[in-house]
Structure 1
Amino acid sequence: MGKLLGFFSFLVLVPLFVRSLDSVLNDDVLGLIVFKADLQDPESKLISWNEDDDSPCNWVGVKCDPRTNRVSELVLDGFSLSGRIGRGLLQLQFLRKLSLSNNNFTGSINPNLARLEGLRIIDLSDNSLSGSTPDDFFLQCGSLRAISFAKNNLSGQIPQSLISCSTLASLNFSSNQLSGPLPSGIWSLNGLRSLDLSDNLLEGVIPKGMESSYNLRSINLRKNRFSGQLPDDIGGCSLLRLIDFSENSLSGSLPDSMRRLTMCSSLSLHGNLFSGELPAVIGEMRSLEAVDLSGNMFAGGIPGSLGNLQSLKLLNLSSNGFSGGVPDSLSNCKNLLIIDFSQNSLTGNLPAWIFGLDLQKVSLSENRLSGVIKNPSPLSMEPSYSNLQVLDLSDNAFSGEIPGNIGVFSNLLILNVSRNSLVGSIPTSIGYLKAVTILDLSENRLNGSIPSEIGEVVSLKELRLEKNFLAGKIPFQIGKCLSLTSLILSQNNFSGPIPATLANLTNLKIVDLALNNLSGSLPKQLANLPYLLSFNISHNHLQGELPAGGFFNTISPSSVSGNPSLCGSAVNRSCPAVLPKPIVLNPNSSSDSSGMGSFSPNLHPKKIILSISALIAIGAAVVIALGVVAVTVLNFRVRSSTSRSAAALMLSGVDDFSHSPTTDANSGKLVMFSGDPDFSAGAHALLNKDCELGRGGFGAVYRTVLRDGHPVAIKKLTVSSLVKSQEDFEREVKKLGKIRHPNLVALEGYYWTPSLQLLIYEFISGGSLYKHLHEGAGGSFLSWHERFNIILGTARSLAHLHQLDIIHYNLKASNVLIDSTGEPKVGDFGLARLLPMLDRYVLSSKIQSALGYMAPEFACRTVKITEKCDVYGFGVLLLEVVTGKRPVEYMEDDVVVLCDMVRGALEEGRVEQCVDGRLSGNFLAEEAIPVMKLGLICTSQVPSNRPDMAEVVNILELIRCPSEGQEELV
């Protein structure tokens, strides 16, 4: 009977046990489904996660322990997920590894994650997590072995409770905004093998007691604000293989205990304040492969003990105060690939072993080395020259000739021996350097001519030979160097013509042939060079007319000065008319059947007998000539009536801003706000279509150059009928002339007649933002860092205008110019103030003609036009800069509005895909995504929902340098 009751109990309890087991398994399913509910999964990577499944072990990214069938690993790296890391993960009681790196998770770190007792590895790197690290996270870290929160937006200090994680072997907080000192007692984590706190704002001294971390293999504190000396007991970490304390403010000498770091392979201390002599004990660190001590204050000689480092591949001692010679013992370092001893005070000769090792880069520039540069050893000795890519011996005192067999370095990319005392000619073996991109032999005493073999250097981008004694003709073979962008041959003795083959070099940007003996005329084809920025031919013996068109229409007078026989507008010298040679009929010849006399050079005054046909031809020619004269006179009268105001610029003086210039009906009134440059030299530009830079709603813009060489941009207003009066116009333009801001185009003056108004602006050479974004100005595109600076600079300029109660009305990419330093300059601001008769409908059609930028309130009479319409236009511009797309794009059968596209992408969790594809991942997601969110806020349909431009500037500065407690924008 007892056995029967026992069997009955078994039958009852087994189903209960199975049901209980199912419940446990469902905890993992439930936890992961709750975790998924907090996420955006734009690529549907988690589509296999089905809440109806009994077990998650077959789900993507999930791994289970085969013994318990419980989730042990969750690895979702690079799944493009976003959202917050929710509480659902706390259900995974048997989780050992959590890796969610390379996603876009936001919010703060959940301190309860550490309560998962079995958790060994947490990797939340490369996300957008923010806030401070919870102090209680480390109080309950259980058996954690590895933590990585790298590449987030974490701030605040590293919690002192970190030292309680006794099981920790790897800690990575790199690339955040952490501040404050290292926790005291951090070296008590004697299980720690890897510590990476690089690229933060940590400060203070590095605490002593490092010998307690005897298991440490790698320590990286690069790019912080640490000061003081290295701990004396660093040598106690005898297992260290990587040490990187670069880009801090550490000082003093290197500790003697470093000799014990015999397993260390990489030592980087560059960019600190270390001083004194480099201790010889560094030669006892026998495993070193890379040593970078650049950018410090070391002095004395380079220790010969470095030659003991048989594994050494990289040695960088640049930008210090080392003196003495380069030690010959380094020839023992057979694995050496890169040496950089530049910017020191080294003396002596160039060591012979330099060309004997299989080096890739040799830089000894800016020292005091002397002697000759010896020829590399003959090839019969079988050294390898194929690896050398950079040879920089510039700014020393080398003498003698350039080695005749320099061509053996067949893979050389950069050869720089400038600013020495080298003599002799350029060796013909230079033609074997087919991979060279930069060849700089400038500022020496070289003579002879440029060898024709220069045309074989097909990869050459920059050729610098200035300040030598080179002579002869510029070889026409240089036209084969199709990659050439910079050609500097100034201050030599070159003669003969400028070769026409230069016109083949369509990538040329800078040409300097000044201070030579060049003669002849300039090839007309040079006007076709599309990227030319500078062409200096001053102080030669060139003659004839300058090429017409392209860059040469705006060439600076200083670039062509010192050539008395040159003519053209740039030198303010008209070219003589080309007249046909006189035809003299031979009086001694008889008329032939055609009635044409024979040509003769005989100019003696004899009786000339003309045939009837000749007289008819002469009469016809006279009639044609009279017709041409009549047409010319009529054209002149018509043109003079339209250009009298512009031509008057040549007659009028320039008055200071504080005076009222005299005005007459013919000359008009010209006012420059500062100085008194002669403006007449550039007046022709107003009548020259080739000088036109562009046209907008207000009028056309021309570039011209003042007589003193100062370039300006002139806007010729085409809305004269809307100008209320000269008094109102001058009052407003003088207000605009007083506005100065680093990101605004300066108004330098104006010209007034009742029928013509001109605004004179500073000339910005870099082109418009529109061309950089959509037309690839200069053959390149903007980096993320450049784009962020343009966005921030533009915002600052608008905030400044709004402080002065000036609304721009016309913000768009073509009105944002980029100067030579990459800074944005906003133009066309405040022009609506010059035209008081404009209403919103004239503005919307005349000024806001660029579709996509115009705020919606322009369409509604009852809504007041305020500075918030500028905020809307800025929001559109911001999105245009980040995405690289136009505000409105017309597809084959659709119209895509940029704001709507980005807003839709944000709602679907794929906003990161909107970033300009040309950046190819070279952007900071933690900056780009908040910036796009800000753009959407600025383009709100309701003006009151848009922030002020001052607030926009603050938000952008927070995005660039986020502070503690920063909130999300959306």
Structure 2
Amino acid sequence: MTHLLLGLLFALLSLWDSSVGFLTPGGVNFEVQALMDIRDALRDPHGVLDSWDRNAVDPCSWAMVSCSEDQVVSLGIPSQGLYGSLSPSIGNLTNLQTVLLQNNNISGHIPSELGKLSKLQTLDLSDNHFRGRIPPSLSHLNNLHYLRLNNNSLSGEIPPSLAEMTQLTFIDLSYNNLSGPVPRFLAKTFSVVGNPQICAIATEKDCSGTAQLPLSFNVNSSDSSQPFKKHRGHARLALALGSSLASICLLISGFGFLLWWRHKHNQQMFFDVKDRHHEEVFLGNLRRFHFRELQSATNNFSSKNIVGKGGFGVVYKGNLSDGTVVAVKRLKDGNAVGGEIQFQTEVEMISLAVHRNLLRLYGFCATTTERLLVYPYMSNGSVASRLKAKPALDWGTRKRIALGAGRGLLYLHEQCDPKIIHRDVKAANILLDDYCEAVVGDFGLAKLLDHHESHVTTAVRGTVGHIAPEYLSTGQSSEKTDVFGFGILLLELTTGQRALDFGKAANQKGAMLDWVKKIHQEKKLEMLVDKDLKNNYDRIELEEIVQVALLCTQFLPSQRPKMSEVVRMLEGDGLAEKWEASQRADSSRSRANEFSSSERYSDLTDDSSLLVQAIELSGPR
């Protein structure tokens, strides 16, 4: 009994010690304190950090902050017009893996305290006004794979210790005022173009400040990584180029022979990590998986593990060897989505979109015949599946889903770099986490699979009933096509019905949108509400959501609001003015030049040629 009590006491003391470890001496969560110091050092013209509260118990519900296991792992505030300085307190967020502050107006020095973030994998401070030297302490970041400091006003020499970071795969120091010799970086890709005082010759002692580097250095080739010396003459340059060409030809010949031998012996070639003698490789903030690892996780892609099917591929539930439950998306036509390097680059760009309402990409797998994406498993499935399940989603949860999905799309359209058009916004692509918070999935995949086509995509991607009229007729998408799809999503959340199935009901003809407009004109909105809600909803909020949906689904793209306006209206700001302006425009528009409602939208429900692409992507994605 004594031993039992001692064990219990020891456990309680350990638990107390671990909780105290998250607090400052003043009893404040140290992550809250660090984030508030960061906010206090910045100026926030658009109020994107208004949710940050110094009296909060933890910061995991704050905008622009992402957590894992109740610890802050990501700080993503790109393109928000922030100015001021970056507080050294960022070094106290010791669990950070991603910092994205690009395309703001932040000035001052880059804090040397960033070197304390031992778990940091991605750091992007590009397109700001940082000045002074690059802190040598950044070389202490042993997990850093992706570093962008370009387009600032940094000066001084590049710290030689950065060249010793063997794990770096990408580094961009271009368009600063850096000087001195260039270290021999081991990163796969790096750029120092646009630094007028940089020496083009890494070993040259006397730098005149006029020499220019090429756009970027690819240091995979030993020849290209060697510095060229002008005074050695053209003969040495020609010899180096000749050696490089000879080496490349030899590599191509050897690779071609290997492909021929594999084909002759009818063996499949897999370019996974094991073939390269690495146990595990991380690219940016992504993990590259072995194909065999994902085979094992999904029980050889068993049909019993399928949790979703759709236009992009099949989704399987998987269990990794460490116990992590994941969703593995096996893309269709894996050998037709471009080369491995191009696929990897596109996937890395998608992974840089980090927001609490976006589905985070864990990693990927690429072989000569397979392309797979690995995501966290969403236990509550998709909005589409949840709307059909029991018990019914309550009104408050539906509103929260609408706002969360809107914020995710707003980030894709206006806040991340590069900006992303989803092209298939619907209830099946809005996933729900353990707390029924909305998470936008499948973003960026249309671009990923269509990169070999022109900017006008001839094969319309999307789901019947959600496709904007201009996209259906021309194949040209824009952020306004996503806004249209979001408007239909709002109606699905309100009615509990899928737009695709709507016209199949015996007492309903035509498109959901036609029916909603008719009911709204007749002021019978109670007929719209999901019967499972009974009377448990707010009449005023119902009117507001329907108005937002109708604004989003206007026929002309130019008349639809931007997602930033949509989110503000859902938050209760500016809807009355926007709706009134829309009604005035409708009344003043000449009816002679307008299509009727049924003529406008009939092609969204009756075109059987599109039904093949209208597969519902149910379940976790």
TM-score range, shorter chain: 0.3 to 0.5
Q: RCO greater where, 1 or 2, for CA within 8 Å and sep 6 or more?
A: 2
TM-score computed with the length of structure 1 as normaliser: 0.30
Higher helix fraction (1 or 2) = 2
TM-score computed with the length of structure 2 as normaliser: 0.46
